[in-house]
């Protein structure tokens, strides 16, 4: 079933992307065994990355978001392809903090109030990735992404993200939306949008009330006669493979591989994004390195 929707205002000046990312965040929690606050932190970043992936121009574009802050969770990373398929990881998934006085999970506390958001856009057909870096706006994720769009890409953006975690750590719901103004928006339109957004409940309140991403679009773009552009099913999926993992090992170089082999000839590589384990015999890997070197020499 589609869980992501994209829409456009009738006059073409406002784009919307909304997602119910509940299943994505559930999968992230299952893989990483995150604490409540880390589920919210990683879940928000995954939700944002999935939408930013989908908003890219080319389906072969990929986007990586990394928040490296001074909080106990360490770095939080999310990677999405051009179809909004996303994966992520967090340095210290068990890190947790007491709930804030207002009852919300302390996401900026666990990620950090000070830090750097790095956005990497790369395309499988291009060599040089685009890398943007910006200090955190708040560490609450949505504000940081909004700030990034405004400063680095000069696109006025509204971003809302939410993850609702139950007391037993299960994910009740998660989702978000992105609203972007294309060049040429009038002051009246901006004022109207601001009014719409201010009147909207939080993402998790809307999801818990049974609202869909399309309902969110109708509320956010009230007065703009929005049309649905397309609908997609986005999920958490890791694209790691034995071949790619082997290529990473080979990339370490003969000297490092020999050092590792002398320590322990069998080697296990664990994928950070899905915890899949790959076993390698380093003697075999070294043989491959030699064969490749011979082929190159010929």
- Contacting residues toward Zn ion, per CB under 5 A: 238, 240, 271, 273-274, 276
Please report how close the Cβ of residue 276 comes to Zn ion at its closest, in angstroms.
5
Between residues 164 and 273, which has the closer beta carbon with respect to Zn ion?
273
Please report how close the Cβ of residue 277 comes to Zn ion at its closest, in angstroms.
10
Residues 6+ apart with CB under 8 A from 257: 249, 250, 282, 285, 286, 289
Please report, for residues 84, 160, 176, 269, the alpha-carbon distance to residue 87 in angstroms, rounded to integers and kept in the order given: 10, 20, 16, 18
Tell which residue, 66, 97, 62, 112, has the closest CA to residue 82. Answer: 62
Q: 9: helix, coil or strand?
A: coil
Please report how close the Cβ of residue 130 comes to Zn ion at its closest, in angstroms.
24
Answer for the pair 282, 266: CB distance below 8 angstroms, yes or no. Answer: yes
Residues 6+ apart with CB under 8 A from 11: 224
Please report how close the Cβ of residue 239 comes to Zn ion at its closest, in angstroms.
7
Please report how close the Cβ of residue 174 comes to Zn ion at its closest, in angstroms.
21
Q: Which two tokens stand for residue 152?
A: 């680095």
Between residues 8 and 63, which has the closer beta carbon with respect to Zn ion?
63
What percentage of the chain's residues is helix, strand, coil (to nearest 5)?
35, 30, 35
Please report how close the Cβ of residue 278 comes to Zn ion at its closest, in angstroms.
9
Residue with tokens 């006059």: 11
The vertex-114 CA angle with 137 and 156, nearest 5°, equals: 15
Considering Cα of 80, then 81, then 85, then 91, what sign does the dihedral take?
A: negative
């Amino acid at each position: 079933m589609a869980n992501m929707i994209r829409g456009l205002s009738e006059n073409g000046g406002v784009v919307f992307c909304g997602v119910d990312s509940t299943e994505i965040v559930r999968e992230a929690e299952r893989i990483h065994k995150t604490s409540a606050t880390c589920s919210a932190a990683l879940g928000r970043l995954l939700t944002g990355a999935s939408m930013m992936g989908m908003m890219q121009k080319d389906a072969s574009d990929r986007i990586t978001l990394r928040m490296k802050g001074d909080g106990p969770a360490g770095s939080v990373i999310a990677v999405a392809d051009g179809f909004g398929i996303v994966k992520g990881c967090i340095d210290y998934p068990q890190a947790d903090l007491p709930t804030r006085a207002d009852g919300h999970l302390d996401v900026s506390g666990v990620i950090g109030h000070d830090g750097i958001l790095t956005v990497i856009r790369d395309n499988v057909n291009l060599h040089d990735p685009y890398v943007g870096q910006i200090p955190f706006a708040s560490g609450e994720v949505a504000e940081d992404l909004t700030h990034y769009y405004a400063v680095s890409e000069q696109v006025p953006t509204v971003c809302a993200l939410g993850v609702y975690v139950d007391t037993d750590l299960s994910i009740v719901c998660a989702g978000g939306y992105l609203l972007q103004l294309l060049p040429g928006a009038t002051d009246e339109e901006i004022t109207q949008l601001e009014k719409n957004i201010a009147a909207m409940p939080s993402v998790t309140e809307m999801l818990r009330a049974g609202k869909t991403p399309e309902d969110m679009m109708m509320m956010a773009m009230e007065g703009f006669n929005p049309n649905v552009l397309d609908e997609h099913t986005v999920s958490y999926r890791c694209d790691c493979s034995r071949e790619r993992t082997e290529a990473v090992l080979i990339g370490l170089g003969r000297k490092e591989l020999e050092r590792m082999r002398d320590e322990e000839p069998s080697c296990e590589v664990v994928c950070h994004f899905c915890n899949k384990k790959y076993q390698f015999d380093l003697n075999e890997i070294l043989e491959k390195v030699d064969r490749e070197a011979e082929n190159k020499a010929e």
